[in-house]
């Protein structure tokens, strides 16, 4: 169910992102004798992102200090994930638990054959089995929808734009006789900002998709709505520390794991929790009791 045309929104946002990149390239070609250093930096950014995509599961699991568990160690978790994987006709992912009291969960991996699902000890203590099933349905749909690839491409393009902006601020426009310094400064500052906002919008769109598709997989949108409400309250009480490794993987989690307010909300990779809960309640046809 994609009532909000999220697939089209993602495609449109990617179009804007590429338009910003191509616009930067055109302006650089006009104002600079050589754009080689800028594109070398861009290629480094793309290579770094490609490495991150290929190793996304290892990076995220290491950041959360997660450990693998067997079916004997976590029978209920295995039962839920196994049932949902079979319902989706997909292979069983590897299962991990992170030893943190902060309630959260994420799934990662470049495809269903290389997927991993991780939940924190905090979320296991907080949620009922029904609510946990709703969360796991959401996370599995991130893998089935290839969201890791989508978000990695968005991060790559946004990273290229940011690198170009930084190089412009450092080196200027090359041929200063024919360039407009104010235009170059504006381009160098505003293009990375626009890229970051578009990247955030793509991430938020994929969260809405995973909420909807995960609820279709479980057949129980109210379970996910109830879980999200509890997780949001739990994060306020026990947020994760803003360690850079955790910040870099926070977009994978079902809820923003940090306390945030003011301008930080503008760059949050997750939609407002109340909006997500309201959408799920509309899917179910009634508000959560």
DSSP label of 71: T
pLDDT at 200 over 70: yes
- Across 42-55, average pLDDT: 72
pLDDT at 229 over 80: yes
Residues 23, 192: Cα–Cα separation, whole Å? 12
* pLDDT tens figures, 69-105: 999 999 999 999 999 999 999 999 999 999 999 999 9
Which helix (DSSP H) or strand (DSSP E) does residue 111 occupy?
Answer: none
pLDDT of res. 186: 65
> Are the C-beta atoms of 33 and 174 separated by less than 8 Å?
yes
Torsion angle of the four alpha carbons 61, 66, 67, 69, in this order, in degrees rounded to the nearest 10:
-90
Question: Which residue would you say has higher pLDDT here, 7 or 213?
Answer: 213
- Across 37-54, average pLDDT: 69
Residues 41, 182: Cα–Cα separation, whole Å? 23
pLDDT at 36 over 90: no
Helix (H, G, I), strand (E, B) or coil at 288: coil
- Mean per-residue pLDDT over the chain, rounded: 81
pLDDT of res. 15: 72
Partners of 38 in beta bridges:
none
**Minimum mean pLDDT among 28-42, 77-91, 147-161: which range?**
28-42
* pTM reported for the whole predicted model: 0.77
- Across 172-181, average pLDDT: 54
**Minimum mean pLDDT among 39-43, 76-80, 146-150, 192-196: which range?**
39-43
pLDDT of res. 1: 45
pLDDT of res. 5: 53
> Are the C-beta atoms of 119 and 200 separated by less than 8 Å?
no
Closest among 257, 289, 276, 256 to 208, alpha carbons compared: 276
**Catalytic option among 139, 207, 212, 281:** 139
Confidence tier at 193 by pLDDT (50, 70, 90): confident
Confidence tier at 4 by pLDDT (50, 70, 90): very low
Radius of gyration for the alpha carbons in the chain, expressed in angstroms and rounded: 21
- Across 138-150, average pLDDT: 89
| 76 catalytic per annotation | no
pLDDT of res. 266: 56
Partners of 117 in beta bridges:
95, 107
Closest among 100, 138, 137, 134 to 119, alpha carbons compared: 100
Residues 175, 142: Cα–Cα separation, whole Å? 46
Q: Where are the domains of the chain?
A: 6-284
* pLDDT tens figures, 98-142: 999 999 999 988 889 999 999 999 999 999 999 999 999 999 999
Residues 174, 33: Cα–Cα separation, whole Å? 6
pLDDT of res. 29: 60
pLDDT of res. 170: 64
Closest among 119, 133, 25, 141 to 82, alpha carbons compared: 133
DSSP label of 101: S
pLDDT at 21 over 90: no
């Amino acid at each position: 169910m994609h009532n909000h045309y999220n697939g089209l929104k993602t495609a449109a946002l990617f179009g804007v992102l590429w338009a910003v990149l191509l616009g930067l390239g055109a302006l650089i070609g006009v104002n600079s004798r050589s754009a080689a250093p800028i594109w070398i930096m861009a290629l480094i950014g793309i290579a770094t992102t490609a490495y991150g995509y290929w190793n996304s599961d290892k990076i995220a699991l290491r950041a959360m200090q997660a450990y693998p568990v067997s079916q004997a160690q976590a029978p209920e978790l295995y039962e839920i994930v196994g049932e949902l994987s079979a319902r989706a006709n997909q292979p069983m992912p590897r299962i991990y638990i992170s030893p943190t009291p902060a309630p959260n969960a994420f799934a990662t991996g470049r495809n269903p054959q290389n997927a991993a699902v991780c939940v924190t000890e905090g979320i296991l203590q907080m949620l009922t089995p029904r609510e946990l099933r709703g969360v796991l349905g959401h996370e599995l749909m991130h893998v089935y929808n290839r969201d890791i690839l989508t978000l990695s491409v968005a991060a790559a393009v946004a990273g290229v734009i940011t690198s170009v902006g930084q190089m412009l601020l450092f080196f200027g426009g090359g041929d200063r006789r024919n360039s407009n310094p104010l235009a170059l400064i504006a381009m160098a500052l505003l293009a990375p900002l626009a890229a970051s906002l578009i990247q955030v919008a793509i991430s938020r769109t994929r969260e809405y998709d995973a909420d909807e598709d995960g609820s279709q997989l479980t057949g129980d949108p109210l379970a996910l709505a109830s879980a999200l409400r509890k997780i949001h309250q739990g994060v306020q009480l026990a947020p994760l520390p803003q360690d850079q490794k955790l910040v870099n993987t926070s977009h994978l989690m079902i809820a923003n794991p940090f306390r945030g307010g003011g301008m930080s909300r503008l760059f949050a990779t997750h939609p407002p929790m109340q909006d997500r809960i309201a959408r799920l309640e509309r899917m179910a046809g009634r508000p959560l009791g």
